[in-house]
Amino acid sequence: MVTFDDFMKLDIRVGTIIEAKVFEKAKRPAYQLKVDLGEEIGIKKSSAQITEVYQCEDLIGKQVLAVVNFPPRQIADFMSEILVLGTYSDQGVVLITPDKQVKNGDKLG
Please compute, for residue 109, the number of CA atoms within 13 A of its CA located in the half-sphere on the CB side: 3
Domains contained in the chain, CATH given: 4-95 (2.40.50.140)
pLDDT of the chain, 109 residues: tens digit per residue:
999 999 999 999 999 999 999 999 999 999 999 999 999 999 999 999 999 999 999 999 999 999 999 999 999 999 999 999 999 999 999 999 999 999 999 999 8
pLDDT on residue 109: 80
Sign of CA dihedral 19, 8, 97, 13: negative
How many CB atoms sit inside 10 A of residue 63's CB? 21
